[in-house]
Structure 1
Amino acid sequence: MRFPLSLLICAALAPPLGAEDRKDVLVADFEGSTYGAGWKTTGTAFGPGPAAGTLPGQMSVSGFLGKGLVNSFLNGDDSTGTLTSPELTIDRKYLNFLVGGGKHPGKTCINLLVGGKVARTATGPNDRPGGSEHLDWHSWDVTEFAGQKAVIEIVDQQKGGWGHINVDHIVLSDTKKQNELLTATLDLTQPYLLLPVKNGAPVRRVRFLVGGAVVREFDIELATDGKGDFRATSDVSAFKGKKLTVEALLPADVKLAGLVDQSPRWADADKIYKEMHRPLFHFTSRTGWLNDPNGLVYADGAWHLFYQHNPFGREWGNMHWGHAVSADLFRWKEEGIALYPRKYGDWAFSGSAVVDKDNTSGWGTKEKPPLVLAYTSTGRGECMASSTDGGRTWTEYDKNPVVKHAGRDPKLIWHEPTKNWVMAVYDEAEKKQWIAFYTSPDLKAWTFASRIEGFFECPDLFQQVVSGKGPRDARSRWVLYGADGKYLLGDFDGKQFKPDFKEKKQLWYGRFYAAQTFDSAPARKGNSPRRVQIGWAQGVSFPGTPFNQQMTVPVELRLLTTPDGPRLAAMPVDELRSLRETAEPVARFKDTDAKEPTVLAENLDAFEVICTASAGRPFVLDLRGTKLSYDPDKNVLTCNGVTAPVDAPAGAFLLHVLVDRGSVEVFADNGRVAMSVAAIPNENNRTVGLGGRLDSGAVWRLKSAWEK
């Protein structure tokens, strides 16, 4: 029988019958309580057997199969050791495995030993702060070793950051599982690119390139099937009219071009701020994660809020500076990304901003003074940037970094008596936690002045008049605090802070972190100074939404005279009243003694309660299912596990309570105690209830700050 030539050619090129149909050979899946027969360990990093996922102190580990994996983070990043397999025979084309953890070649790695020598090696993807504990497929082509004996060696000989490795599911196969570098090139005709995000999906590294140069690089939980939980938006208007290439390591069957959409507007713009769980009067980003407020400054008639932001996902990462402006501290308009990371891994961490009114920097003019910000570049140090268009665009100082040290989070202020700028910055000199002070005449050249021990992260420093003591220069104190909001009062001469007392005082309790006060805030009528503060309500989360975390309500800080000396107090800013639905409250009450639970007001979403409580009488407020209680025997307020002391020697105290869709905030005793509590309200409970005694009070329904 004669066969067509084409069939003979196909037959000659085809693999041997059945070669591509051979089943995978499982080398190890690490599902048992031990590593299995023949596996040997040295050192302490790998323990007696596989880890059941994430270990204590570790970021969440994902991407492994089943319930177990190799995880050398046991007892932290300083543990070391090796894990070696029994001998195996290479009888497939590829050796596939899942790998994650540290990127330290030769130190945190998985090796293939053939003839006792390293024939193949691989590491995890991380070699600097940030990153992800996700495992992804890696494949070695081992056809040249067919029929030979080999050993797998997993190594952890690295201490410190990312000094560990994660490995799972080692398989011999004729199919390559490793992702491939896929690209899609677009002619940019629109200002935005939209990417689908699937919460919990494998983290992918994505790059945007223009003219061969990387212009964006970030991690994203990319929905490779296009069916995401939401779409992340990236502003590419600066490259409009050019060709932009999207690049990512993905499974070979993914159609990358089909995942990227051009758009004339923000993704789902008509739905933003209308979501079921969107807070009505607390700042949240349109989409993505937020944390520390940065660069709070008042300029040109507007309050500017910059903040730590991940525009590509609900979780922390990809640190940019977001930017929003407001005329009243509640109705915010987002301006997009103010500060991009210089490159992947060199993230834009926290900092501050000032108005350089006298143009000491020379980055503006006296007629149009610049805004100047300081931030921590994680790859360089403390860096400066300036803006002459209201903070929309920024120009980096060409001699950055201006301060290089072990630390972060620079806070800038102008010290009028010495005519110098001051930078208060978290510092880790001598393996201790300090706030360091640097001085500069021009925001460019900085000189170390002093340090004070005992503060961690995100400092703030400002001068405050003591209430009731006349003009500003009659009696004032300097306030210094760190991320936890605990503070000292004292004197500051522009170089050194001298505290009035040793033990720090506390104003805020609960979900409150990394707060800042506004630079150049306008004075009240009569030139009374005003100090406005916003913090990050750390841990106030919103499940199932495209955004995550919120800021605390803006408050005005005062220094009150007390029997123990001056103490900080915080109360919601007066602008909050503009959100009251009507001039009159929806409910008033007086001398209410509710022996049985009593409804004070109904049909509420977001609202505020202002009332007076007797210091000697207990009460419980039911705030849409969240209980706020007062125990007069212990003199404490408690809400959702957060407890704060209330000392009311006058026999009664003022209570101001704010309820939104993710939080309850409480201000007691004229603001001497402030609480921020995470609380998702019960959708079936839209009432305020009372048990116990309140002297008098009122309830106001609050409307959405996002309404146009």
Structure 2
Amino acid sequence: MPVLSSQRLPPLSSRIRAVTSFVLALAAFAAPDIVIADFEGPTYGAWTATGTAFGSGPARGTLSGQMAVSGFTGKGLVNSFLGGDGATGTLSSPPFRIERKYIRFLIGGGKDVDRLRLELLIDGQVVRGATGPNDRPGGSEALEPAEWDVRDLAGQSAQIRIVDEATGGWGHINVDGIVQTDQRLPKLLYGLGRTIELKKRYLNLPVKSGAKKRWVTISAPGEEPRRFDIELAEGKPDWWAFTDVSAWKGKTVTVRVDELPEDSKGLAAIDQTDAIKAKDLYREALRPQFHFTSRRGWLNDPNGMVFYKGEYHLFYQHNPYGWGWGNMSWGHAVSRDLVHWKELPVALHPDPSGTMYSGSAVVDWKDTAGFKTGSEDPLVALYTAAGRPFTQGLAYSNDRGRTWTKYRGNPVLGHVAAENRDPKAVWYEPQKKWIVSLFLDGEEFAIYDSKDLKTWRELQRIRIPGTAECPSFLPMPLDGDASRPKWVLFGANGGYLVGDFDGTRFVPDGPPKRMQHGNAWYAAQVFSDVPGRTILIPWAQLDFPGMPFNQMMGLPVEQTLRTTAAGPTVFSVPVRELASLRRSHRKFDAPASGFTNKCDELAEVEVVLSGVSGRCELNLRGVKVSYDASTGEVVCLDRKATLRPVGGKVRLRAFVDRRSVDLFGNDGALYMPMGTPIDPANRSLSVTTSGGTKVDSVDLYGLRSSWR
């Protein structure tokens, strides 16, 4: 199709006014649409299904094992992924008469004209057809609008049939919103652009969840362009994404969109402000109140965690422009107390080498990389450029992490294996060098050394059975004795090895252990350069439907390595700084076999049990936690972990936020972060025991929001 540049077109505002006037004029004379099927009911009604692919009624969005489905209207759609891609079948409408010029529909799923089809039949013969857009790994489950011109079939009796005869990858079809109409779909315009003189801090972009993703490029003279995909709202947005352009203030930027319907208002709606467009920021209904979340968009793995001059720097995998994963950049926030966080501009944007995947950061106190230019010690970030292939790069900051420059000599490590990624660096003082751990593939990791962070030498490869990606490799004092360090290597799910490292080779003491047992913990990282403490933050894998942000970080915990009967073991407790959130305290001593009270919305609860020979059950705002002395297990939702009494007592500690409960036991022997919906109206708190177990005490702390 021809590419139209903004220079060859009238001003965008003029085109939009003209198109809008034309569309309104047509609409005034058009006959009303006739809905053939909207698939909002519990069954297919008069439609007939064969086989197993379509089930007994419309799907309610995404099915089990399927990528997120978007782009459909209402709550229901036809989705033949029921039971997976192996299911087959047909779904046929009752006969209807063609009474309008066009039949419009939404379609998605696999692309296979022979085995995945939406068909229009006349007298049993196929006269029109359509299939989905996906025929290779990856892709998207978004439905997109399409239409058939049926003017030549006016007045005839017709039938629609949806066919799934495919069984391999992308062997399913999604359909919704089949309508007869006299109005054509808007035409697509290509290469649209506009210029904006930057006078304010933010450019705001309208987002409509489920809309077709458009590629947007923002370019400024002498700057690296920002290119990303976004569900750009064509009309009223659900929320506003933003990009911080304060570093470009005074320049004129060009904003281009790859394609837009001719009636879209998306490009024209982009504007600039000195504050982000956000209603009730940090007060949204599901916003966690003491777990870190980004102001807008998606986050996942914590990255580049480093402490320098009183500030904890938390970088993280971030999609600034969407609720779902994508456009991987390094978001950035700082805190002086691990509790109250201030979000800074995105530190690393995607570039021609790839999107910015996970990595780490260090203070280069000795300027080993030679990046220092002023009085500040340089912060150096090691990151994965997720291009083709994946490589490792450096970026540095000489202004306490406020701005970042990518090293011109990148990549510092070329491709090694598969999607090698997630470099984590630590200084090894005995040999005055850096040690870098890197994920390779499967369960395999590599350990490198480097004198200057620019030239890496592979020392060894090692496996952590049952564990992949996001490694951390660091020394920890055994039982608090700095003269007896052991080295710990852990991966994304918390599987870890403990052993000895001589600067060249790591030798594990035994098989891997698990440092956590929750459902909301992944890809954790430890802060670099924190004197005398090992502080870890995980990614809590938890969706926030209907919110302009998604996912959260777990609570910061302090870790120690202690001698146990099972060998050196990592213990995890909430950082002491969280006590600053306590706004009230009620203590209940020796409440015997039962305890009932009202729980604050945000709460910290400590329960001490003695005589543990039976069962105990905690009800934390509707979330049940049980302890069974006969098995020595703590159970919450679908997770369980072993916890044995210490001195005849079991101590449980829980932090309750809006969609999570973080559980700890016996001073860090149990670490179980749990994500779950919590009824905002449920303020119940109870402890019940049986079989001889007694409640010694209950401490209930009401917590304040960290955002206020």
TM-score by length of 2: 0.77
Q: C-alpha displacement at 1:29, in angstroms? A: 11
> Would you say 1:598 and 2:596 are equivalent positions?
yes
Partner amino acid for 1:353? A
What residue is the counterpart of 1:147 in the other structure? none
Contact 1:358 1:366 in 2 (8 A): no
Q: C-alpha displacement at 1:676, in angstroms? A: 1.1
Distance 1:701 1:48 in 2: 48
> Would you say 1:220 and 2:220 are equivalent positions?
no
Distance 1:378 1:648 in 2: 50
Contact 2:241 2:320 in 1 (8 A): yes
Residue 561 of structure 2 is aligned with which of 556, 559, 562? 559
Distance 1:103 1:451 in 2: 41
Distance 1:231 1:24, change over 3 A: closer
Distance 1:360 1:698, change over 3 A: same
Contact 1:615 1:653 in 2 (8 A): no
* Uncovered stretches (5+) of structure 1, i.e. residues with no partner: 1-19, 84-91, 113-118, 145-151, 524-529
Residue 288 of structure 2 is aligned with which of 268, 279, 283? 279
Residue 493 of structure 2 aligns to a residue in which SS? coil
Superposition pairs of residues 430-509 of structure 1, within 5 angstroms: 432-448=442-458, 449-452=460-463, 454-467=466-479, 470-472=481-483, 474=484, 476-509=485-518
Partner amino acid for 2:603? F
Which digits, 9 at most, give the CA deviation of each residue in 1:474-511, with x for residues without a partner? 3x221112111121211234454322112433433332
Residue 580 of structure 2 aligns to a residue in which SS? helix
RMSD over equivalenced CA pairs, Å: 4.8
Which digits, 9 at most, give the CA deviation of each residue in 1:98-146, with x for residues without a partner? 554579999999999xxxxxx99997279675x53102135699999xx
Distance 1:174 1:295 in 2: 55
Residue 545 of structure 1 is aligned with which of 544, 547, 552? 547
What residue is the counterpart of 1:672 in the other structure? 669
Which digits, 9 at most, give the CA deviation of each residue in 1:240-295, with x for residues without a partner? 431433426444323335532321211227x3123343322211111222221111
Distance 1:366 1:156 in 2: 66
Distance 1:421 1:105 in 2: 55
Partner amino acid for 1:364? K
Distance 1:515 1:465 in 2: 20
Residue 303 of structure 1 is aligned with which of 300, 309, 312? 312
What residue is the counterpart of 2:70 in the other structure? 62
Contact 1:421 1:441 in 2 (8 A): yes
TM-score by length of 1: 0.77
* Uncovered stretches (5+) of structure 2, i.e. residues with no partner: 1-28, 92-99, 121-127, 153-160
Distance 2:286 2:164 in 1: 46
Superposition pairs of residues 574-593 of structure 1, within 5 angstroms: 574-581=576-583, 586-590=585-589, 592-593=590-591
Residue 578 of structure 2 aligns to a residue in which SS? helix
Superposition pairs of residues 185-584 of structure 1, within 5 angstroms: 185-188=194-197, 189-198=199-208, 200-210=209-219, 215-220=226-231, 222=233, 224-228=234-238, 230-240=239-249, 241-247=251-257, 249-268=259-278, 271-342=280-351, 346-364=354-372, 368-388=377-397, 389-398=399-408, 399-400=410-411, 402-416=414-428, 417-428=430-441, 432-448=442-458, 449-452=460-463, 454-467=466-479, 470-472=481-483, 474=484, 476-523=485-532, 530-539=533-542, 541-581=543-583
Distance 1:266 1:30 in 2: 38
Distance 1:204 1:46 in 2: 28
What residue is the counterpart of 1:614 in the other structure? 610
Which digits, 9 at most, give the CA deviation of each residue in 1:420-472, with x for residues without a partner? 333322222xxx4322223333222333332325421222211111115x333
Residue 407 of structure 1 aligns to a residue in which SS? coil
Partner amino acid for 1:185? R
Q: C-alpha displacement at 1:390, in angstroms? A: 2.4
Distance 1:109 1:304, change over 3 A: farther
Distance 1:626 1:226 in 2: 37
Contact 1:288 1:309 in 2 (8 A): yes
Which digits, 9 at most, give the CA deviation of each residue in 1:325-357, with x for residues without a partner? 0011011100021121226x9432222222222
Aligned pairs, how many?
A: 655
Distance 1:153 1:637, change over 3 A: closer
Q: C-alpha displacement at 1:695, in angstroms? A: 1.6
Which digits, 9 at most, give the CA deviation of each residue in 1:284-332, with x for residues without a partner? 1112222211111112321011112222233333322211000110111
Distance 2:254 2:167 in 1: 39
What residue is the counterpart of 1:116 in the other structure? none
> Would you say 1:626 and 2:623 are equivalent positions?
yes
Residue 519 of structure 1 aligns to a residue in which SS? coil
Contact 1:204 1:249 in 2 (8 A): no
Contact 2:54 2:79 in 1 (8 A): no
Residue 371 of structure 1 aligns to a residue in which SS? strand
Q: C-alpha displacement at 1:168, in angstroms? A: 7.2
Which digits, 9 at most, give the CA deviation of each residue in 1:686-705, with x for residues without a partner? 45433333223422222222
Partner amino acid for 1:217? F
Q: C-alpha displacement at 1:57, in angstroms? A: 2.7
Partner amino acid for 2:469? E
Q: C-alpha displacement at 1:570, in angstroms? A: 0.5
Partner amino acid for 2:437? A
Contact 1:512 1:676 in 2 (8 A): yes
Which digits, 9 at most, give the CA deviation of each residue in 1:563-590, with x for residues without a partner? 2221110011111122222xxx621222
Partner amino acid for 1:226? K
Q: C-alpha displacement at 1:672, in angstroms? A: 0.8
- Percent same amino acid among aligned pairs? 39
> Would you say 1:696 and 2:694 are equivalent positions?
no
Distance 1:575 1:361 in 2: 34
Distance 1:446 1:425 in 2: 11
Contact 2:594 2:695 in 1 (8 A): no
Contact 2:72 2:210 in 1 (8 A): no
Contact 2:206 2:266 in 1 (8 A): no
Distance 2:637 2:677 in 1: 11
Partner amino acid for 1:678? G
Distance 1:699 1:157, change over 3 A: closer
Distance 2:106 2:302 in 1: 37
Partner amino acid for 1:412? K
Residue 509 of structure 1 aligns to a residue in which SS? coil
Distance 1:142 1:516, change over 3 A: same
